Amino acid sequence: MMAKHFNIPLFLPELACPFRCSYCNQAAISGQLKIPSLQEMRATIETHLQSIPKGDNHIEIAFFGGNFTGLPEKYQKQCLEMASQFLQKGQINGIRLSTRPDYINESRLELVKEFGVTTIELGAQSLDEAVLEECGRGHTVADVNSSAFLIKSFGFRLGLQMMIGLPGDSLEKSLETARRIIEAGAEETRIYPCLVIRETALEQAFRAGEYTPLSVGEAVFWSAQLVETFDSAGVKVIRIGLHPSEELNSNGYVAGPYHPSFKELVITEAWRLHFEKQVWPEVNEIQIEVPASERNYAIGYGAKNKKTLLNRYKKVKFIANPLLQKRECIISQIAPCS
């Protein structure tokens, strides 16, 4: 059994970010305005460590938000020195950080490697030049590719985050972004649907009728195809959709494909697409063996997939098979009682 992964998130809102992307208002998304002190970060880590169940775990301290490698070097060192103390004591297994593709170079990578950083996530968002320009990212596709190459050459684990439904985006462009993320050597990715958040340029465009966000159904359909693409290439999808926050659930959200169970909807749809490709037996009762971790998703959010199959079969039974992985399944007739 693989070790269970836990991130201890430390959020540094909009620190050192030189651009204000059209969709971005981190305070409205996260509900966090204040920059935490080192003491507060240490307390957060200790609280999380106490709450993580004992077992075969892989634990990382994760610096999210803003642009970590663009912070003043002194502040980077202070944060990393604090985090590395937990690494030296064996309380965690690594440190990860997120940053911008245009704030990566050899000296920055040498600095963070010195303190035990193991994973670097880049906010690529899209690998289409026109989309990047339209949403004001301030970097190019070439910046992403060169930074990804440097990160890999230094021995870091590489994550490339993407966002769907940005201004100028399409399903074809998002699928091409996924393919380029795979080609860049990413081991992991995050898929976020673009939302219209208050006090952003995108909100102004939305209210002026110049931008139409994806519907929940569209975002689910796009994301399910992206998940299949990444799964086939062995790239781990570590997040699907924004994490619900009090601020996002109240007045931060304006429009777009937000759903508190977005991941469940997406994996349900991924299973539906997978089931469409199967050869189904002409019988009245079937059983479907699926990986244990995927059984609920295969049945579907609100039992959606099972209900669809019950339009065709008198009885449908889902069985957990520990030998299967991802969306492997075995479909057979339910054996009659002896």
User: Closest by alpha carbon to 123, among 27, 30, 24?
Assistant: 24
Burial of 165 (0-12, 13-18, 19+ CB in 10 A): buried
| 125, containing H or E segment | strand 117-125
The arithmetic mean of pLDDT across residues 243-260, rounded, is 77
Domain boundaries, the chain: 4-268, 278-333
The arithmetic mean of pLDDT across residues 226-242, rounded, is 95
The arithmetic mean of pLDDT across residues 174-201, rounded, is 95
Q: Is the domain covering 4-268 a CATH 3.20.20.70 domain?
A: yes
Tokens 């060169």, residue located = 146
Share of the chain above pLDDT 90, in %: 79
Q: What is the pLDDT of residue 12?
A: 85
pLDDT per residue over 86-123, tens digit each? 999 999 999 999 999 999 999 999 999 999 999 999 99
The arithmetic mean of pLDDT across residues 160-165, rounded, is 97
Give yes or no for a contact between 12 and 66, defined as CB atoms under 8 angstroms apart.
yes
Structure confidence at residue 337 as a pLDDT band (50, 70, 90): low
Give yes or no for a contact between 179 and 229, defined as CB atoms under 8 angstroms apart.
yes
pLDDT per residue over 320-329, tens digit each? 999 999 999 9
Structure confidence at residue 82 as a pLDDT band (50, 70, 90): very high
